[in-house]
Amino acid sequence: MPGEAQLLPGTLDLLILKAVSLGPLHGYGVLLRIGQISGQALLIEQGALYPALFRVVRQGLLKASWGISDNNRRAKFYELTAAGRKRLQDETEGWNRLAAAMGSALAAQAEEI
């Protein structure tokens, strides 16, 4: 896969928040959604998702409830809390600033200095 990128530490939580912000999801759904919105560029080891998910739940950014999935299986669905929405917004802005700064820094040419 040519478009595959290395996941930076700490970004998984942000991705989970983003994925869930688009609509309540169960664990497997979160994985699929991340793959989908990143254009299959960011792949996460399936089991590694859960420690991160639980951590985010513990921080009060997500809440969980049991429900029925599309293919009729019992699954735990996650949705964003108010705190989670705020955190997503803050982190998105922070990320954008960092990305912009990194982008312009790396794009710098010798004659521009």
Cβ closest to another protein, residue 22 vs residue 48: 48
Token digits of residue 20: 């869930």
Shortest CB 42 distance to another protein, Å: 16
Shortest CB 13 distance to another protein, Å: 11
What CA–CA distance (Å, rounded) separates 35 from 25? 14
By rule CB under 8 A, what string of x and - marks binding of each residue 1-40 to another protein?
-------------------------xxxx-----------
By rule CB under 8 A, what string of x and - marks binding of each residue 42-81 to another protein?
---xxxx-xxxxxx-xxxx--x-----x-x-xxxx----x
Site for another protein, rule CB under 8 A: 26-29, 45-48, 50-55, 57-60, 63, 69, 71, 73-76, 81-83
